[in-house]
Amino acid sequence: MTLSPRKLIGFVILVLLVACSTTVSTPIAPQSSQPVPEVNESLEQPLTITAFPTVTRFPTSTPNLTQTSIAQAFISMRTAEEKLMSQYPRICDSAYALPKYSPNELWMEELCYSDADQDTILTISNKDTQVIWKLAYKDYIQAANAFPDGGLAVIHWTSDGRYAYFASYHSGDGGECFVGFLDSGSGLFRLDLQTGSTTTLLPLSDNYAWYGFSFSPTDRRLVYGARSRDLKVLDITTGQVNNLSSAKDFSQSGDYVWSSDGFNFLYSTVLYNEISEPISYSLRLVNAQTGGEQILLESPDRCFAARSWSDNNILTIESYDKDYNQTLVEYDLNLNKIISGATATP
């Protein structure tokens, strides 16, 4: 029988396919990570399984240059940090976090646990004179609250280099978008960097009570309030205290941002209902000399947190909805209105 060319080609392909197939009695373990086909034991004939080809492993590709650059930058930063730390006297073997420094980097602060003192300590050391001041946490907390999870932190260095203001605090988390670590503490104290003596500005209270506070950039004024309410402004130079004339009631405040001249500041508030649900947020502007204030922005469901105050009176504000989605807002104090970003009730 003579086959046509088309049929002849088809016959050859069929023969090749039959010749290439292999029937085995047991599944062949695959040589790759693909799963082994499940055997159906009810079949009269064994399954026909083609073995997976062996995968040749090639050398790993050249490392990502971006990752390498990041690693090198991290090592460089770590080396620079260690070099800077080596200039200061230290008694902390293992600090809780990286040290912090005064604006002129003359002083370094470290928080660590001291076996010798059996307590958490804050050390403040000078790289020029090699003096080191040690502050024990237990000395700046109520005896009834002897072992809470907390510590001490410098919150303000005076520009003349004479004082460091520090606070004791209890660890915690949560809160509104404007809640900041350096905005609150259990008590507020002043360390004389020349003598090592300390002075109490805001005394400790029982039952884990706390203050909200912030210093003006000129070192002259301090805004503070128990539980960040009933805010007052202290003139550190004269000792005069002004109560804020609150435009509306609020339950909590925070995120105090000052003008560069120290005459005005911003702060954020929230008002809760009887079951502690937020029902109103606001951003307020205060005259620090008189205590008078006005509400710049207000919303029933958007939280405001001022982040910067430029010299041309443009405020940069972060605004968050109930799902914590962020919108960046710019507010012009000269025009008294939002110039970009989300819409809010002025």
292 and 202 belong to one structural domain:
no
- Of the candidate ranges 62-71, 118-127, 167-176, the one whose mean pLDDT is the lowest: 62-71
* 250, 345: one domain: yes
Bridge partners for 308 per DSSP: 316
Q: Is the pLDDT of residue 48 over 60?
A: no
- 185/270 same-domain check: no
Domains in the chain: how many in total? 2
Same domain assignment for residues 153 and 98:
yes
- Report the distance separating Cα 50 and Cα 47, nearest Å: 10
Listed in sequence order, the residues at least 6 apart from 169 whose beta carbon sits closer than 8 Å to its beta carbon are 150, 151, 152, 153, 181, 184, 185, 186, 210
Do 192 and 84 sit in the same domain of this protein?
Answer: yes
- Residue 251 inside a domain? The answer is yes
Q: Answer whether 169's CB lies under 8 Å from 153's CB.
A: yes
**Whole-Å CA distances, 254 to 211, 220, 303:** 10, 20, 12
Asked if pLDDT for residue 229 goes beyond 60, the answer is yes
pLDDT tens profile 277-307? 999 999 999 999 999 999 999 999 999 999 9
Write out pLDDT tens, residues 57-115: 334 445 555 777 777 776 777 788 888 899 999 999 888 888 999 999 999 999 999 99
Residues 6+ apart with CB under 8 A from 17: none
Instruction: Select from 209, 236, 262 the last residue of a domain.
Output: 209
Residue 17 inside a domain? The answer is: no
* 269 and 319 within one domain: yes
Task: Tell whether 201 and 124 lie within a shared domain.
Answer: yes
Report if residue 36 sits inside a domain.
no
Q: Is residue 16 part of a domain?
A: no
Q: Does 67 fall in a domain?
A: no
Is pLDDT of 174 > 80? no
Residue 174 and residue 85 in one domain:
yes
Q: What is the pLDDT of residue 94?
A: 82
In a domain? residue 217: no
pLDDT of residue 64: 58
Pairing of strands 221-226, 232-235: antiparallel
Instruction: Please classify residue 238 by burial: count the beta carbons closer than 10 Å to its beta carbon, then call 0-12 exposed, 13-18 middle and 19+ buried.
Output: exposed
The CATH code of the domain that includes 267 is 2.130.10.10
Of 154, 178, 209, the position where a domain reaches its end is 209
Domain coverage including residue 161? 76-209
Q: Work out the end-to-end distance of the chain between its first and last CA atoms, rounded to an integer number of angstroms.
A: 97
pLDDT at 217: 94
* Residue 302 to residues 238, 272, 278, 318, Cα–Cα distance (Å): 38, 13, 10, 10
Is residue 264 predicted with pLDDT exceeding 90?
Answer: yes
Average pLDDT over all residues of the chain: 79
341 belongs to a structural domain:
yes
Decide if pLDDT at 56 tops 50.
no
Q: What is the pLDDT of residue 65?
A: 57
Residue 203 and residue 266 share a domain: no
Give dist(CA 311, CA 259) in Å, integer: 8
- Same domain as 172, residue 85: yes
Q: What is the pLDDT of residue 340?
A: 82
Same domain, 179 and 234: no
Q: What is the CATH number of the domain that holds 96?
A: 2.40.128
Q: Which of 182, 209, 236 is the last residue in one of the domains?
A: 209
* Digit-coded pLDDT (tens) for 141-166: 876 555 567 889 999 999 999 999 99
What's residue 9's pLDDT? Answer: 40
pLDDT at 199: 94
187 with 264, same domain?
no
Whether residue 312 is contained in a domain is answered as: yes
